[in-house]
Chain A
Amino acid sequence: MSTLDHPAQSAVHGASEGLPSALAQSHTYTHHGGRPVRTEPRAVRIALILVALGFLGLFIALPLVSVFYEAFRRGWAAYVAAIIEPDALAAIRLTLIVAAISVTANLLFGLVASWAIAKFEFPGKSLLITLIDLPFSVSPVVAGLIYVLLFGSQGLFAAYLQAWDIKIIFALPGIVLATIFVTFPFVARELIPLMQEQGTAEEEAAISLGASGLSTFFRVTLPNVKWALLYGVLLCNARAMGEFGAVSVVSGHVRGLTNTMPLHIEILYNEYQFVASFAVASLLALLALVTLIAKTILEHRLAEEDR
């Protein structure tokens, strides 16, 4: 840090150019109590920090606290009752199933796509990279609508689906598809830059030592990206469990059947069941906190591997 600060320091103190440089230096150091010289005055720094903290408190910490506050307003019994209520349990179960399927699917897809993109040259590669990012730029509601248009009763594949008696929209498959679409980029986005940076030399070394392709993947490629992979899975999971828009379009809101946790929370809230609604919401908030802690730990591991 301190070495980075030096050019800025000389720029700021350009006014004291006439002074012998040693004098100018000692001046700045004593002024700041011997700590590395910052470019901004203390007051500006404190103001900036307060603004940032105030913003975080107002928009993140306060809502988070209020979720738990509302959830426990009527006490522990009401909280537990809201969660073990059959519809709530069904919503939790559905959310877990959907997350398990879509995270697994995107874990596999993310690995395959980033492996292909980072280690091989092929036509259409840049198109694939662009497509992977698409879910980030498309509104989740539009994503949901795409699946309704494709698989709905008026949709493109309606005739086939009816003939085979397959139900996708307003059922589990539709919810899973919409969730996969929305959480599509998380794993691949984490892996591609890392794999590209690592290059192919280690894989070449492994193969030249007699390892098969599969063995190279499991012994060399995968261990090299394991922390980034976990990180991507974590973000993917958080989004999969919390997704509202896309799932809302394809779910049909059938209580106890096609309601995920976010949808269940909305219904409860619209029915003025605030305690129940916030109780279920607190579970999602808890997930967010756990994700945050795990993310911090993983980031630490990633930074360590980078050394």
Chain B
Amino acid sequence: MTIDVVGVTKRFKTFTALDHVNLTIHSGELVALLGPSGSGKTTLLRIIAGLEWPDTGEVRFDGEDALARSVRERNVGFVFQHYALFRHMNVFENVAFGLRVRRGADKLPEAAIREKVNELLSLVQIDWLAERYPAQLSGGQRQRVALARALAISPKVLLLDEPFGALDAKVRKELRRWLRHLHEELPVTSVLVTHDQEEALELADRVVVMGHGKIEQVGSPAEVYDNPATAFVHDFIGETIALPGEVRGGALYFGTHALGLDPQGVADGPARILARPHDVDLADPGTTPFAGKVLAVRTFGPTRRADVELTSTGGPVVVEAAVPHGQTLLPGTQVGLLPRRYKVFSQPTR
């Protein structure tokens, strides 16, 4: 099912959660809404589900007005952040709920309900837990129950609110892969809300990066990572080294020192030169656009980072640079920074 979000705005008292958001989600896609907390991603998901209503704008499912239908009638599977399992029902009854509340012509006989629930429980690989209650399950198992329960109503749209947020890192990785696999097996359009960029980049066909109630960029994981449209996206996704600069007369400067870097068409004024740590080389201080003193070197796991203090007329600026393996860097020494790939964004004056 194709989902169209057109000009949706939502305010909570004085806080604007969504500001004229436009988004098209294609049928069968798995889209991740990615952003920090307060970016409006959960509000957007809840509006698509029908749990929240926009102040203005439209939501269309396959071209039909979805706002005319309540959440009951939208037939969307919603997986809640903390699962919201029915605590007084066992796993089987939790999954059966959506089938049991059907009335009239849609009502299924008991045998059909049992068959369908058992099928779903084996699909999410927890058939052996059918008699357990939510309180007796681990986080990962609850997650699977929540998913099976949402899938019981054969939704065409599956909405997941921070589905892996409450799980530990190892289980999260495992479930992530499994969810991707499940999405491919089912005829469903999935929208996932997450603040975890790794999750979004690994799982989604397309990533929608949100900030302050607006969509900053929509693109494939590779696009948003390699070609961020805004400084916000660059900062939020992946690690970023931010180097200060200023565009004057179509050239980049750091203080009075011409950097010899491409300003990439950014207009005159303060600018930020953003680069991935692995795209910044450490070199002889005399030959590079930036040079500074190494303050400290830190090692965590396979990565090493150096705090380098750049001195300029505006006072010292400390940036964090990646230190490649096999290279030793002593605190106190001078080092040059050479950005090989970078993006230049104008810095809004505050």
Say whether A associates with B.
Answer: yes
Q: Which residues does A use to contact B, with CB under 8 Å?
A: 201-202, 204-212, 215, 219-220, 223-224, 305, 307
**A204 to B51 alpha-carbon distance, docked (Å):** 7
The distance in angstroms between the C-alpha atoms of A257 and B103, with both chains bound, is: 50
- A307's nearest neighbour on chain B, judged by CB, is B135
Chain B residue contacts of A205, Cβ below 8 A:
78, 80, 84-86, 149
Which A residue sits closest to B77, measured CB to CB? A208
Q: Return A306 CB to nearest CB of chain B, in Å.
A: 9
Indicate whether A201 sits within 8 Å of B84 (C-beta atoms), given known contacts A210-B101, A211-B97: yes
Query: Could you mark each residue 129-159 of chain B with 1 if its beta carbon is under 8 Å from any beta carbon of chain A, else 0?
Result: 0000001000000000000011011000000
Q: Which residues of B contact A211 (CB under 8 A)?
A: 72, 97, 101
Contact mask for chain B residues 195-237; partner A; CB cutoff 8 A; 1 contact, 0 none = 0000000000000000000000000000000000000000000
Q: How large is the interface on B (under 10, 10 to 19, 20 to 34, 35 or more residues)?
A: 20 to 34
Minimum CB–CB distance from B174 to chain A (whole Å) comes to 24
Closest to A206 in B: B97
A–B pairs, 10, beta carbons within 8 Å? A205-B84, A205-B86, A207-B70, A207-B72, A208-B51, A208-B78, A209-B149, A210-B75, A210-B102, A224-B88
Min distance, Cβ B15 to any Cβ of chain A, angstroms:
15
A307 to B75, CA, bound (A): 33
Inter-chain contact A207/B84, CB cutoff 8 Å:
no
Q: 8 Å CB contacts to A: which residues of B179-197?
A: none
CA distance A219 to B70 in the complex (A): 20
Q: Which residues of B contact A (CB under 8 A)?
A: 49-51, 70-72, 75-78, 80, 82, 84-88, 97-98, 101-103, 135, 149-150, 152-153
B5 CB → nearest A CB, Å: 18
Contact B97 A219 (CB under 8 A): yes
* Cα(A210)–Cα(B72), bound, Å: 4
Q: Nearest 8 A-B pairs (CB), nearest first?
A: A201-B84, A209-B98, A211-B101, A205-B84, A208-B78, A223-B88, A202-B84, A208-B71
* B interface secondary structure, majority: loop
Instruction: A209 to B103: give the CA distance in the assembly, Å.
Output: 12
Q: Could you say which residues of chain A place their CB within 8 Å of the CB of B97?
A: 206, 209, 211, 219
- Contacts A202-B87, A307-B135 given; indicate if A212 touches B80 (C-beta within 8 A): no
In the complex, residue of chain B having the shortest beta-carbon distance to the beta carbon of A220:
B86
Task: With both chains docked as a complex, state the minimum distance between the C-beta of A190 and any C-beta of chain B, in angstroms.
Answer: 17
For the A-B complex with A208-B49, A219-B101 known, give 18 more contacts whose Cβ atoms are closer than 8 Å. Answer: A201-B80, A202-B84, A205-B80, A206-B101, A208-B50, A209-B97, A209-B98, A209-B150, A210-B72, A210-B75, A210-B98, A210-B102, A210-B153, A211-B72, A212-B101, A212-B103, A219-B97, A223-B88
Residue of A207, A210, A223 ringed by the most chain B CB atoms within 10 A: A210
Given contacts A208-B51, A208-B71, contact A224 B98 (CB under 8 A): no
Q: How far is B135's CA from A305's CA once the two chains are assembled, in angstroms?
A: 9
Across the interface, which residues of A come within 8 angstroms of B102, CB to CB?
Answer: 210
B51 contacts A202, CB within 8 Å?
Answer: no
Q: Is the CB of B71 within 8 A of A224?
A: no
In the bound complex, CA of A211 to CA of B100 (Å): 9
Closest-CB distance, A197 to chain B (whole angstroms): 12
Chain A residues near B76 (CB, 8 Å)? 208
Given contacts A219-B97, A307-B135, contact A212 B72 (CB under 8 A): yes
Q: With A and B bound together, what is the CA distance between A215 and B107 in angstroms?
A: 14
Q: For A307, what are the chain B residues with a Cβ–Cβ distance below 8 Å?
A: 135
User: A15 CA to B98 CA in the complex, in Å?
Assistant: 64
- Min CB distance B20 to A, Å, is 26
The verdict on A204 contacting B80 (CB below 8 Å), with A210-B153, A212-B101 known, is yes
* Docked pose: A215 CA to B150 CA in angstroms: 18
- Expressed in whole angstroms, the Cα–Cα distance for A195 and B85 within the complex equals 15
CA distance A201 to B102 in the complex (A): 20
Task: List chain A residues, Cβ under 8 A from B78.
Answer: 204-205, 208
Contact at B153–A209, with CB atoms within 8 Å?
yes
By beta carbon, the residue of chain A nearest B76 is: A208
A209 CA / B86 CA spacing, docked (Å): 12
- Complex contacts, B135 vs chain A, CB 8 Å: 307
Closest to A223 in B: B88
Residues of B within 8 A of A202 (CB): 84-87
When chains A and B are docked, how far (Å) is the Cα of A211 from the Cα of B97?
9
